[in-house]
Amino acid sequence: MDFQSIVYLLKAFAISVPHDKALAIRDNVALFQAIKVRLVKISDKNEGGKSDEEIETAIKQIISEAITAEKVIDVFDAAGLKKPNIEILDERFLQELKDLPQKNLAVELLKKLLKDEIKKRTKINLVESKKFSEMLEDAIKRYHNGMIDTVEFLEKVLIPFAEQIKAADKRGEKLGLDYREYAFYTALEVNNSAVSILGDETLKHIAQELLQSVRNSATVDWTIKESVQSALRRNIRRILRLHGYPPDLQEKAVDTVITQAKMLAEDLLNDKPKQTSQEL
């Protein structure tokens, strides 16, 4: 929706109230009203000039009202952007953000999108979601503390960070692992030098065996049964020892794998009927 269309919408709404259909969309209309007012304030160069603080406040108001936890709505159109085809990982969209004249707006949009992407991963991949969350929060703190300017934060931090998430998603595919196997692969803390010497092939086999062991242990209430978890811990230790996993890191790995398994509990339980009788 372009600027003039928003104007027409507001006029139509004004003459339609209190019709039930008009009242049903009043929240959406209020959103477009907020976007219209604040974008005008940001882009209008004839108002005598806005301070950086005023611009920042206006932008944050747009973002807080225009972006929900579930999706980004037509603030893209209001900012003159096309919606990304594959969310934040769309290269064309990232380039459009980079080229957006209102750098503060681009920063706030991408920050929100990155946080939402990380939030999705908290339900799937324990280690990577924690790593990405910490990295983003650290970068935001440096930005808020004035250690990096808006353009540099967008172009040298946020956009490369989005690309890093994209690369992480592809890594599992390159290793030939599905998202659950890759979650257990990262649970092994493969970036630790003592672990990395095992090599990708060995770590892949460990991850696949861990997934199979957890899947075999999955019952409706396994996450609250200490007996099941104790048996699972023994199996995890056996698998780690069998493949030469560093002894001093085994207990930490066991705890991480158990926590990762609980994150995937529902998924693994739903997958259990797909097993063959031999696997069971």
How confident is the model over 26-76, as pLDDT tens digits? 656 655 555 555 555 555 544 445 555 554 555 555 555 444 434 444 455
Query: What does each of the 280 residues of the chain score in pLDDT, given as a tens digit?
Result: 445 566 666 666 666 655 666 566 665 665 555 555 555 555 554 444 555 555 455 555 555 544 443 444 445 555 555 555 445 567 777 887 788 777 877 888 888 888 888 988 888 999 999 999 999 999 999 998 888 888 899 999 999 999 898 888 889 999 999 999 999 999 999 888 989 999 999 999 999 999 999 888 877 778 888 888 899 999 999 999 999 999 999 999 999 999 999 998 877 777 654 444 344 3
89 and 138 co-located in one domain: yes
Are 53 and 99 members of one domain? no
Domain boundary among 27, 61, 80: 80
One domain for residues 156 and 196: no
CA 206 to chain centre: 26
Q: Clarify whether residues 20 and 75 are in a common domain.
A: yes
Residues 75 and 6 in one domain: yes
Among candidate residues 57, 80, 103, the one where a domain is terminated: 80
Q: 158 with 126, same domain?
A: yes
Residue 280 lies in a domain: no
Q: Is residue 200 part of a domain?
A: yes
Residues sharing a CB contact under 8 Å with residue 116, sequence separation 6 or more, in sequence order = 69
Last-in-domain residue among 80, 110, 140: 80
Cβ-based neighbour number of residue 179 at 10 Å:
14
The pLDDT assigned to 133 comes to: 95
> 55 and 110 share a domain?
no
> Residue 194's closest CA among 205, 207, 182, 203?
203
Q: What is the pLDDT of residue 14?
A: 62
The model's pTM: 0.67
Domain that holds residue 191: 179-274
Per the CB < 8 A criterion, the answer to whether 131 and 86 are in contact is no
Length of the chain: 280
**Is 194 inside any structural domain?**
yes
Tell whether 279 is covered by a domain. no
Residues 42 and 90: beta-carbon distance below 8 Å = no
Residues 168 and 207 in one domain: no
Residue 185: inside a domain: yes
Rounded Cα distance between 213 and 225, Å, is 16
pLDDT of 209 reads 96
State both tokens at 209: 């065996």
Tokens of 136: 């983003």
Q: How many domains does the chain divide into?
A: 3
Residue with token string 């002894």: 247
Q: Is residue 199 part of a domain?
A: yes
The answer to whether residue 159 sits within a structural domain is yes
**Residue 95 and residue 66 share a domain:** no
Residue 72 and residue 74: Cα distance in Å, rounded? 7
pLDDT value for 71: 46
In a domain, 5, yes or no: yes
pLDDT computed for residue 257 by the predictor = 95
86 in the same domain as 72: no
Averaged pLDDT score across all residues of the chain:
77
Give the Cα separation of 128 and 179 in Å (integer): 12
**Are 112 and 128 found together in one domain?**
yes
210 shares a domain with 242: yes
| Residue 216: predicted pLDDT | 86
Q: Which residues are 67's β-sheet partners?
A: 72
Q: Which residues contact 256 (CB under 8 A, 6 or more apart)?
A: 126, 127, 187, 188, 189
CA–centroid distance for 137 within its chain: 13
